[in-house]
Amino acid sequence: MVKTLEMEFRNETGKSVVLRMLEPKDDITLAEVHAVMQNIIAKNIFSTTSGDLVQVVEARILSNDSLVLA
């Protein structure tokens, strides 16, 4: 099973921006993710063509199973 952490932000123009991280640690907490997201905004780590990230919207972990048929 592949897990993906998605961190959703709003930028200056109100558009949604999603950053994805593969295989987050199993015991990750909302507090840890929220702290990282706030740090990303405070340090202006990522830029977008529509402006800086200015607001935390949501964090979610997605699970995906796949079966390779050879």
Reduce the secondary structure of 32-50 to three states and give it as a string: HHHHHHHHHHHCCCCEECC
Q: What is the pLDDT of residue 10?
A: 97
CA 43 to chain CA mean position, Å: 16
The Cα angle at residue 54 between residues 45 and 9, in degrees rounded to 5: 85
What pLDDT shows up at residue 23?
Answer: 95
Residue 52 backbone dihedrals phi, psi, to 5 degrees: -70, 155
Residue 11 pLDDT greater than 90, yes or no: yes
pLDDT tens by residue, 19-70:
999 999 999 999 999 999 999 999 999 988 999 999 999 999 999 988 889 8
